[in-house]
């Protein structure tokens, strides 16, 4: 029972790292437990210094400083993400129109696009927009939508609507977890409609994910791995994972 509680609390933190804040009643419905149980979870997480409780909910402790400094909440495995970012940027040709999803891995891609010419970038990530907006050779378009502070991104139906009737050459899509059973998974349900709209708009879909995400599942599933054209990951992918992808005809690129 305690293991299940720990797993739930871990998912709550991951959700807050995406959305910034959450209400007790919504968390109770999401995890199918009582509000009393959720309050106990939040009390424990606050005691651990991971969040701050407020009336009816909680919010991420570090979110104000992150927004002020334009930093992302998730900075795990940045060495692997930097490798992926460099490789992904090499797949982008001058003259193309691309979508960059929000996230720490796609931010690494953006860093490697500075100085490029004749590119059009569509993104829901405010930090990427601010990074590439001043570049004279890059046109940047930012979706509308609801602001998510920890990811410095815009989400929800408004963000998805912006992408309607748009066609791009390539999409570089982020994810929290990849598995054959659950497919592409994310901590926040509000992101699913945006990810789907991005996929619908793109000729080629590259899923950019470090090898630590393979075999992991998060809260909300977008769909099967067949939604993507390529998985772009780092050189530390396990051999057994390679064989699983190959056996299911999922193409991957090693950075």
Which one of 34, 61, 88 terminates a domain? 61
Coil vs helix vs strand at 1: coil
Burial level of 47, CB count in 10 A (0-12/13-18/19+)? Answer: exposed
* 188 and 86 assigned to the same domain: yes
Which one of 21, 36, 61 terminates a domain? 61
Domain tally, the chain: 2
Within-domain flag for 67: no
* 211 and 132 assigned to the same domain: yes
- Would you say residue 1 has pLDDT above 70? no
What does the pLDDT average to over 23-50?
Answer: 88
CATH number of the structural domain spanning residue 33: 1.10.10.10
* 134 and 99 assigned to the same domain: yes
- Would you say residue 3 has pLDDT above 60? no
Range of the domain at 105: 78-254
Where does the chain show beta strands of DSSP type E?
A: 21-23, 51-54, 57-60, 97-100, 119-123, 138-142, 146-148, 153-155, 168-173, 177-179, 183-186, 202-208, 220-223, 230-233, 252-254
* 219 and 105 assigned to the same domain: yes
pLDDT digits (tens, 9 = 90+) for 52-64: 898 888 888 777 7
Within-domain flag for 73: no
Q: H or E element: which one contains 199?
A: helix 192-201
* 48 and 94 assigned to the same domain: no
- Would you say residue 70 has pLDDT above 80? no
Within-domain flag for 216: yes
Within-domain flag for 71: no
Q: What b-and-e string marks burial along 216-250, b requiring 16 or more CB atoms within 10 Å of the CB?
A: ebbbbbbeebebbbbbbbbeebeeebeeebeeeeb
pLDDT digits (tens, 9 = 90+) for 185-244: 988 888 999 999 999 999 999 999 999 999 888 888 999 999 999 999 999 999 989 888
Lowest pLDDT segment from 40-44, 87-91, 104-108, 193-197:
40-44
At residue 141 the predicted structure's pLDDT band, cuts being 50, 70 and 90, is: very high
CATH number of the structural domain spanning residue 206: 3.40.50.1360
* 117 and 36 assigned to the same domain: no
Where does 152-196 show beta strands of DSSP type E?
A: 153-155, 168-173, 177-179, 183-186
């Amino acid at each position: 029972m305690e293991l299940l509680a720990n797993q739930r609390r871990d998912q709550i933190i991951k959700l807050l790292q995406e959305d910034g804040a959450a209400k007790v009643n919504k968390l109770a419905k999401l995890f199918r437990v009582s509000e009393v149980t959720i309050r106990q979870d939040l009390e424990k997480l606050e005691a651990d210094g991971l969040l701050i409780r407020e009336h009816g909910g909680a919010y991420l402790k570090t979110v104000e400083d992150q927004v002020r400094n334009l930093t992302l909440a998730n900075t795990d495995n940045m060495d692997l993400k930097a490798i992926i970012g460099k490789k992904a940027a090499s797949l982008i040709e001058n003259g193309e129109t691309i979508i960059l999803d929000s996230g720490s891995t796609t931010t690494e891609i953006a860093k490697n696009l500075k100085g490029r010419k004749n590119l059009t970038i569509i993104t829901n990530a405010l930090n990427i927009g601010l990074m590439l907006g001043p570049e004279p050779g890059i046109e940047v378009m930012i979706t509308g939508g609801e602001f998510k502070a920890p990811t410095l991104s815009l989400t929800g139906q408004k963000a998805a609507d912006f992408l309607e009737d748009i066609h791009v050459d390539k999409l570089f899509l982020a994810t929290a977890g990849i598995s054959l059973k659950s497919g592409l998974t994310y901590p926040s349900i509000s992101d699913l409609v945006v990810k789907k709209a991005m996929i619908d708009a793109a000729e080629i879909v590259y899923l950019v994910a470090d090898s630590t995400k393979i075999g992991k599942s998060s809260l909300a599933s977008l769909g099967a791995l067949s939604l993507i054209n390529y998985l772009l990951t780092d050189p530390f992918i396990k051999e057994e994972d390679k064989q699983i992808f190959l056996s299911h005809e999922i193409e991957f690129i090693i950075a």
